[in-house]
């Protein structure tokens, strides 16, 4: 598939700083406002944001199947409801408008003034009205590490794990965007297995390095999305920190799985990078053995080479890089996750969010949670300021970053920055 906006030779007349996550080949969507404007759909390039509401009103988006309210909107859902082809055409059109070889917008300084803002002048908002949130558990390395720690190294993976993209239904109401602080959650913990549980602030607060994908409107209840169709139902991806309270989790998870240990907050990056923009970064995934059941079979490359990083920044200190991973390690890919989610006829809707599960790589410096990095607290990490971390402390800021890179083009996701405040 050839997507015009992905052409590596493209250069924009909008300045893109060296090493930016947002060259003309990316063009992710988000929701923003300026000090004087309402929320609206924006598109990021370099350190600038293109205002699609203004662009539409000025007539630059004619001939595409959108109406003003698709862009004059506090969420992307209305625009996304127009489907894959429409948003692909939109991204291609905007790529053309931003192309240095095209004078249409470039030559009109009044229009540029109206349509383009610096990222310093804007505030980002939740990009998607998320109806349902599902979290998978698709990293074999992560599942193996957790199984090794809490059960038995010889039977680290549950018997279903190599057959099923295991997942659970999370909670959408507590998904927040980068920049919003969280409070340490309180709840039931049982630090001493011989004693009664306690009601206290969580002691073992953890991040989970994940990515998430956002869906277009799916099929009717009762119908399934095949692995072949799945990409047509995925709008794009973001970084996702699925905060976890390990001590609450350990006590509560039997027999129905995670509940309050997970639903107090999950942080997502503000810009949704389209699946189209990620197309050049597809790679083969891990070999799947045993052979998957027929509805999980797929053709072609369905994994992505996306470098992922986590840093911890204590208050008023430098940040320390604690993890470098990659979503290419993930065992179950996105199309398998969506095919599995709908195989029983479950209907996904426009704006549903599907988390990957913690993305751990094969080496100890690529583990995607403190639980694994500190091996349940037995191997504390030392930060640059000399302090140690087994889990996340109050006033720590956790930063996730992610980017793809090849042939000199870098397509990135920006960052998810979340500060942990003391329990209320």
Residue among 135 and 372 whose Cβ is closer to Mn ion: 135
135 binds Mn ion (CB under 5 A): yes
Q: In what order do the strands lie in the sheet with 29-34?
A: 116-118, 48-51, 40-45, 29-34, 122-125
Using CB under 5 A, which residues numbered 62 to 91 contact Mn ion? none
Residue among 136 and 304 whose Cβ is closer to Mn ion: 136
Minimum CB separation of residue 210 from Mn ion in Å reads 6
Minimum CB separation of residue 288 from Mn ion in Å reads 21
Minimum CB separation of residue 418 from Mn ion in Å reads 14
Q: Which stretch binds Mn ion (CB under 5 A): 16-24, 230-238, 240-248, 344-352?
A: 240-248
Minimum CB separation of residue 257 from Mn ion in Å reads 11
CB atoms within 10 A of CB 57: 15
142 is catalytic: yes
Q: How far is CA 227 from the centre of its chain?
A: 20
Paired residues of 123 in beta bridges: 33
Residue among 151 and 169 whose Cβ is closer to Mn ion: 169
Distance CA 245, CA 213 (A): 23
Per the CB < 8 A criterion, the answer to whether 201 and 185 are in contact is yes
From residue 335, give the alpha-carbon distance in Å to each of 55, 136, 224.
33, 12, 12
Among 54, 206, 208, 247, binds Mn ion (CB under 5 A): 208
Q: Which stretch binds Mn ion (CB under 5 A): 126-134, 219-227, 238-246, 346-354?
A: 238-246
Per the CB < 8 A criterion, the answer to whether 225 and 233 are in contact is yes
Residue among 115 and 310 whose Cβ is closer to Mn ion: 310
Distance CA 213, CA 211 (A): 7
- Tell which residue, 172, 143, 66, 149, has the closest CA to residue 330: 143
DSSP H helices, 269-386, are: 275-278, 334-342, 370-373
Residue among 242 and 415 whose Cβ is closer to Mn ion: 242
Residue among 53 and 340 whose Cβ is closer to Mn ion: 340
Minimum CB separation of residue 268 from Mn ion in Å reads 12
Tally the C-alpha atoms within 13 A of residue 385's C-alpha that lie toward its C-beta: 12
Minimum CB separation of residue 252 from Mn ion in Å reads 15
- Tell which residue, 270, 285, 312, has the closest CA to residue 165: 285
CB atoms within 10 A of CB 307: 17
Residues touching Mn ion, count (CB under 5 A): 3
Q: Which stretch binds Mn ion (CB under 5 A): 119-127, 235-243, 367-375, 386-394?
A: 235-243
Which residue number has the CB closest to Mn ion?
A: 242
Paired residues of 41 in beta bridges: 31
DSSP H helices, 194-284, are: 246-252, 275-278
Distance CA 20, CA 32 (A): 19
372 binds Mn ion (CB under 5 A): no
Using CB under 5 A, which residues numbered 284 to 323 contact Mn ion? none
Q: Which stretch binds Mn ion (CB under 5 A): 7-15, 79-87, 131-139, 392-400?
A: 131-139
Residue among 135 and 252 whose Cβ is closer to Mn ion: 135
Among 70, 99, 231, 242, binds Mn ion (CB under 5 A): 242
Query: What tokens does 424 get?
Result: 């209320």
Residue from 62, 96, 111, 142 carrying the catalytic annotation: 142
206 binds Mn ion (CB under 5 A): no
Minimum CB separation of residue 239 from Mn ion in Å reads 13
CB atoms within 10 A of CB 27: 26
Residues annotated as catalytic are 142
Residues lying near Mn ion in the complex (CB under 5 A):
135, 208, 242
């Amino acid at each position: 598939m050839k997507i015009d906006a992905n052409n590596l030779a493209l250069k924009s007349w909008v300045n893109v700083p060296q090493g930016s996550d947002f060259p003309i080949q990316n063009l992710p969507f988000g929701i923003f406002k300026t000090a004087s404007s309402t929320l609206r759909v924006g598109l990021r390039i370099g350190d600038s944001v293109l205002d699609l509401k203004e662009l539409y009103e000025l007539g630059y988006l004619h001939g595409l199947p959108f109406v003003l309210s698709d862009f004059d909107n506090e969420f992307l859902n209305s625009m996304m409801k127009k489907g894959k082809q429409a948003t692909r055409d939109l991204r291609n059109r905007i790529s053309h408008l931003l192309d240095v070889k095209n004078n249409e917008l470039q030559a009109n300084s009044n229009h540029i003034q109206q349509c383009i803002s610096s990222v310093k002048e804007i505030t980002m908002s939740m990009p998607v009205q998320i109806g349902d949130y599902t979290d998978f558990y698709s990293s074999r390395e992560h599942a193996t590490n957790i199984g090794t720690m809490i059960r038995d190294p010889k039977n680290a993976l549950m018997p279903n794990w190599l057959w099923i993209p295991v997942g659970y239904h999370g909670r959408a109401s507590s998904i927040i965007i980068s920049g919003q602080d969280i409070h340490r959650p309180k709840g039931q913990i049982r630090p001493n297995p011989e004693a009664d549980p306690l009601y206290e602030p969580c002691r073992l607060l953890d991040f989970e390095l994940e990515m998430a994908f956002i869906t277009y409107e799916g099929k009717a209840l009762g119908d399934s999305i095949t692995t072949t169709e799945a990409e047509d139902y995925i709008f794009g991806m973001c970084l996702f920190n699925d905060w976890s309270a390990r001590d609450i989790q350990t006590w509560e998870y039997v027999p129905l799985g995670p509940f309050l240990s997970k639903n107090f907050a999950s942080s997502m990056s503000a810009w949704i990078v389209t699946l189209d923009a990620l197309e050049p970064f597809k790679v083969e995934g891990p070999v799947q053995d045993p052979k998957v059941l027929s509805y999980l079979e797929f053709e072609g490359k369905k994994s992505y080479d996306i470098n992922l990083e986590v840093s911890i920044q204590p208050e008023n200190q430098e940040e320390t890089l604690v993890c470098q991973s990659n979503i290419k390690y993930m065992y179950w890919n996105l199309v398998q996750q969506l095919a599995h989610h709908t195989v029983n006829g479950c209907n996904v809707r426009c704006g549903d969010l599907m988390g990957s599960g913690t993305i751990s790589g094969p080496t100890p410096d690529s583990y995607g949670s403190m639980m694994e990095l500190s091996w349940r607290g037995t191997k504390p990490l030392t930060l640059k300021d000399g302090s140690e971390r087994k889990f996340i402390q109050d006033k720590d800021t956790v930063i996730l970053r992610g980017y793809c890179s090849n042939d000199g083009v870098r397509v990135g996701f920006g960052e998810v920055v979340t500060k942990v405040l003391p329990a209320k």
